[in-house]
Amino acid sequence: MTKSSRRQFLKTGTSVGLGLALGSRRPTASASQPKPDAANEINLPPIEKVRIGIIGMGGRGNSLMGNLLQMKDDVEIRAVCDIYPERAKAAQGRVVKAGFNKPQAYSGDENIWKKLVERNDIDAVIIATYWQWHTPMAVYTMKAGKYAASEVPAAYTLEECWELVNTSEQTGIPCMMLENWSFRSDNLAVLNMIRKGLFGEIMHCHCAHSHDCIDHWFFDSQTGMDRWPAQFLVNHNRDQYPSHQLGPVISWMDINCGDRFDYVTSTSTDAVGINEHFAEKFGPDHPNAKRKFAQGDIVTTTVRTKKGKSIVINYDMQLPRPYDNRWLIQGTRGLYNEQRDAVYFKDKSPEYHQWEPFPPYHEKYRHSWTKEPSLGGHDGTDMRELKLFVQAVKNRTQTPIDVYDSVTMCVHGPLSELSIAKGSVPIKVPDFTREKWKTRKPRFAIDNNI
């Protein structure tokens, strides 16, 4: 992908997804044909150590590599790659300093990553690059016979969602999106409680990614100049960061394992907050104080599932606020509220219609994955997800998050853009499992100790 094609992707990425969703073209000829379940066991022999290549040695890639460097008994880092030579070289030195053999460093050309993927001494590839590279790299990795682990979002367009599913099914190779909030200790405890029936039949969920990222992630905090994600705000109005909200929700609501998304409806506010931020911080003459941004400040998406359940999803990354996920899961006999750190159970909570603290339930229903000390970033979730990914590669089994769940956590991104553009109309969600959701059994984080 050349620099010019990267720019073109930012402008037209959604139009591809819009055309597909409107039916102006089919995702692919094979998308409507029955395919084997991508969650089947992998037809490869187990291995003693997982030989890993990492593409993208910026902040996120280095953070993930730091966790991998603590898995010396299970992992070898054979190659690192970054478009910037200094980053690749620094990563190479960091691996050696940690006591590993010196990995090969690839840099200097935007397609040099293919050489890393093509190596015959690589079992798995970690992808921590700019968004527009995630799907092309994961597809190329699977076609090379290697496990793919992509940072979020695994796909940006509807067409890319289908590319990942089709490639995983056709090659028999897993693709896992590294959605770390699926592995949070509190979220896993709630999952155990749901599976024990404490909340009754689950009917509704609310979730959000509420994280003011204007002053450090989308734009440089000192100069206000664009960082790489800023162009997405200029060209698209959608849920730009779809997976953190849905990380735990997919398993809480048995999505793709007994139920699936049926349609989404999305609404956006106007774009006001970004211009106001720049006018206040840098003055009214700063270019971004007057610039036109397509992205509205808040996007609200509502999902209805095939079994009549509902999910409300908020994108909220541009207005001043503390970080919050606003998870709430509600059933016929009670609910959990992450903001309150509380639960309520019909006929069981000690005071009528009063919340009770969640922490005692967190401990009682603590998932076995979280009983060891929390190591690594994001309170141990990064280490947890990478350990489970490495274990799957080592044993040649399916990854804890499979390709169907990976794309389901991404698809309301492009579909929200289409719904907003069409006046908040309902948009049908494709069935990536091709009706296998009707018979597939839940498999994520099954805890036999509860």
Q: What is the SS3 assignment for 233? A: helix
pLDDT digits (tens, 9 = 90+) for 411-441: 999 999 999 999 999 999 999 999 999 999 9
DSSP state of 61: H
For the chain, percent of residues with pLDDT exceeding 70: 92
pLDDT of residue 302: 98
- For residue 274, the SS3 value is helix
**What confidence tens digit (pLDDT) does each residue in 209-247 have?**
999 999 999 999 999 999 999 999 999 999 999 999 999
388 belongs to a structural domain? no
In this predicted structure, what is the pLDDT of residue 353?
83
H or E stretch covering 325 = none
Q: Are 198 and 177 within one domain?
A: no
Cβ within 8 Å of residue 389, ≥6 positions away: 124, 147, 149, 176, 178, 399, 400
Alpha carbons within 13 A on the beta-carbon side of 341: 7
Which of 137, 152, 181 finishes a domain? Answer: 181
The amino acid at 418: L
- Residue 58 included in any domain: yes
pLDDT tens-place string over residues 146-178:
999 999 999 999 999 999 999 999 999 999 999
Q: Is residue 382 part of a domain?
A: no
* pTM to 2 decimal places: 0.92
Q: Report yes or no on 376 lying in a domain.
A: no
pLDDT digits (tens, 9 = 90+) for 329-342: 999 999 999 999 99
> Of 127, 146, 181, which marks where a domain is finished?
181
Query: Is beta strand 310-316 parallel, antiparallel or unpaired with respect to 299-305?
Result: antiparallel
pLDDT band at 37 (very low <50, low <70, confident <90, very high): confident
pLDDT tens, 258-268?
999 999 999 99
Confidence category of residue 12, pLDDT binned at 50, 70, 90: very low
Per the CB < 8 A criterion, the answer to whether 157 and 425 are in contact is no
Contact in structure between 147 and 125 (CB atoms under 8 Å): yes
Residue 443 domain flag = no
Are 143 and 171 spatial neighbours (Cβ–Cβ below 8 Å)? yes
Q: Give Cβ neighbours of residue 181 (< 8 Å, ≥ 6 apart).
A: 187, 243, 244, 247, 248, 325, 381
Q: Is 313 left (phi over 0), alpha (psi -120 to 50) or beta?
A: beta
Rounded to the nearest 10 degrees, the angle between the axes of helix 3-22 and helix 403-421 is 80
Looking at the chain, the whole-number percentage of residues with pLDDT higher than 90 is 86
Mean pLDDT of the 283-291 span: 96
Task: Indicate the DSSP class of residue 428.
Answer: E
Higher pLDDT, 166 or 26: 166
Please tell me the total count of domains within the chain.
2
Band (183; pLDDT cuts 50, 70, 90): very high
Query: Which of 163, 181, 199 is at the close of a domain?
Result: 181
The CATH code of the domain that includes 61 is 3.40.50.720
Q: Domain for residue 389, yes or no?
A: no
> Residue 355: which CATH number?
3.30.360.10
Host domain of residue 213? 182-370+403-438
Tens of pLDDT, residue by residue over 44-88, are 889 999 999 999 999 999 999 999 999 999 999 999 999 999 999
414 lies in some domain? yes
